[in-house]
């Protein structure tokens, strides 16, 4: 199964359970913390993806790192570990945030840039994305120097890639196809 589809299914199941238990906002807070913690820590990313580290060690470590989390979040960590899908934790957390925001009539726009967005650019991007989606939008800026310049905008299932790296890649394909 496609990893992204699996992450969406776990996120939907978690959201449904959280809504049933009236804890969706608390779980969203946990998911934001999980996303930020894993994104900031490459050692943790490698630890989660390592086939050498036993599942129980991963589960115990994550339960300790996120010990102040809601029981639903702890259950998700446990389920992912038991199903040998713990490497999907960050992606599941991201999908949960997106699904919960959409449920509230809000969207999260992920903007990847080579350098941090200025406040003026962020406001301009917010206005454009709000016009496109018709929903209230928040922006999460990711820095990825490999895109060289420009930006990659992702809102839900839509993605617009205006990065210099993408344009160079397209030029390279055109040159190789024309030979």
* 117: DSSP letter: P
79 in the same domain as 42: yes
136 in the same domain as 54: no
108 near 138, Cβ under 8 Å?
Answer: yes
Query: What is the Cα–Cα distance from 1 to 178, expressed in whole angstroms?
Result: 36
Listed in sequence order, the residues at least 6 apart from 120 whose beta carbon sits closer than 8 Å to its beta carbon are: none
Listed in sequence order, the residues at least 6 apart from 161 whose beta carbon sits closer than 8 Å to its beta carbon are: 152
90 in the same domain as 25: yes
116 in the same domain as 74: no
One digit per residue, the tens of pLDDT, for the chain of length 179 reads 467 889 999 999 999 999 999 999 999 999 999 998 988 888 998 999 999 999 999 999 999 999 999 999 999 999 999 999 999 999 999 899 888 888 887 778 888 888 888 889 888 888 888 888 777 888 888 888 888 988 888 887 778 888 998 999 999 999 898 87
CATH number at residue 34: 1.10.520.20
3 near 85, Cβ under 8 Å?
Answer: no
Residue 148 phi, psi (nearest 5): 70, -55
Look up the pTM and report it.
0.67
147 in the same domain as 66: no
Lookup: tokens for 176: 């190789």
Give Cα 6 distance to the centre of its chain: 14
């Amino acid at each position: 199964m496609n990893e992204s589809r699996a992450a969406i299914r776990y996120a939907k199941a978690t959201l449904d359970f959280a809504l049933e238990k009236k804890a969706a906002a608390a779980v969203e807070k946990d998911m934001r913390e999980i996303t930020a913690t894993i994104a900031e820590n490459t050692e943790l990313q490698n630890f989660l993806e390592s086939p050498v580290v036993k599942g129980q060690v991963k589960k115990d470590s994550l339960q300790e790192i996120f010990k102040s989390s809601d029981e639903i979040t702890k259950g998700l960590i446990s389920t992912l570990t038991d199903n040998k899908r713990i490497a999907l934790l960050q992606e599941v957390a991201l999908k949960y945030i997106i699904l919960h925001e959409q449920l509230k009539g809000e969207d999260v726009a992920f903007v990847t840039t080579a350098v941090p967005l200025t406040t003026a650019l962020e406001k301009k991007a917010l206005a454009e994305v709000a016009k496109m989606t018709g929903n209230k939008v928040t922006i999460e800026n990711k820095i990825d120097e490999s895109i060289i310049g420009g930006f990659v905008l992702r809102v839900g299932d839509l993605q617009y890639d205006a990065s210099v790296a993408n344009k160079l890649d397209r030029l390279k394909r055109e040159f190789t196809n024309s030979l």
